[in-house]
Copies of this chain bind each other. A is one copy, B any other.
């Protein structure tokens, strides 16, 4: 058992090593310009080895998105775990969580959207697609939870919590996407955090009872 376990851990380490390399290459070159050879070189492995750990390019790519979703779920569950006292405080915790996710992996988030274009999604194995689906639901639910609490405590206006969660997530990802592309088009400084702060302020005013 000990041996089997160690092998498993070894295997996981390799997967991580490859994913780290892949993340670097994908964020640098984008999905279709990045080649498996690039990734192999970055991981200091041979191309064939990557295929021992990931079925194909699409799945390697999707695995990266999975990782960030996992991180998001963990962060959100943390927010939920703390005892509810104040709606405003909780919203701030939520904002911090989202900013953390962004900082965990600023560029891959954009690529995640690329992945969610029907183009890529349709080529994923049902298994992976399923996992993504589950995590998506989970994170939405964790966010919805926060809003439910707020509504129950009469601190938030009475809107369907899932819809509100969707909106906040859309807002967040929209900003990430938009700011990043502006940065590329206009070669502007990164205003993301300022924008997100303002956005959150507006959102809070919009959601809280006065």
Binding site for B on A (CB under 8 A): 29-33, 107, 110-111, 113-114, 116-122, 129, 132-133, 136, 157, 159-160, 163-164, 166-167, 169-175, 177-182, 184-186, 191, 194-195, 198-199, 201-207, 210
Cα distance, A132 to B182, chains bound together (Å): 11
Known A169-B178, A170-B178, A171-B170; contact A194-B119, beta-carbon cutoff 8 A: no
Q: In the complex the two chains form, is A116's CB within 8 Å of B177's CB?
A: yes
Chain B residues with CB below 8 A from A202, complex form: 159, 164, 167, 203, 206-207
Q: Can you list 15 A-B pairs with a CB-CB distance of less than 8 A?
A: A30-B117, A30-B120, A31-B119, A113-B181, A114-B119, A129-B185, A136-B186, A159-B201, A160-B198, A163-B194, A163-B198, A166-B178, A170-B195, A202-B206, A206-B207
Minimum distance in angstroms from A59 CB to a CB of chain B: 15
Q: In the complex the two chains form, is B116's CB within 8 Å of A184's CB?
A: yes
Residue in B163, B171, B182, B206 whose CB lies within 8 Å of A174: B171
Q: In the complex the two chains form, is B121's CB within 8 Å of A110's CB?
A: no
Chain B residues with CB below 8 A from A166, complex form: 175, 178-179, 195
Chain B residues with CB below 8 A from A169, complex form: 174, 178
Give A115's nearest chain B residue, CB to CB: B181
Known A30-B118, A117-B111, A177-B177; contact A136-B185, beta-carbon cutoff 8 A: yes
Residue in B110, B174, B210 whose CB lies within 8 Å of A210: B210
Minimum distance in angstroms from A120 CB to a CB of chain B: 7
Give A169's nearest chain B residue, CB to CB: B178
Q: Which of A29, A107, A178, A191 has the largest count of B CB atoms less than 10 A from its CB?
A: A178
Cα distance, A25 to B103, chains bound together (Å): 36
Q: In the complex the two chains form, is A119's CB within 8 Å of B186's CB?
A: no
Q: In the complex the two chains form, is A167's CB within 8 Å of B195's CB?
A: yes
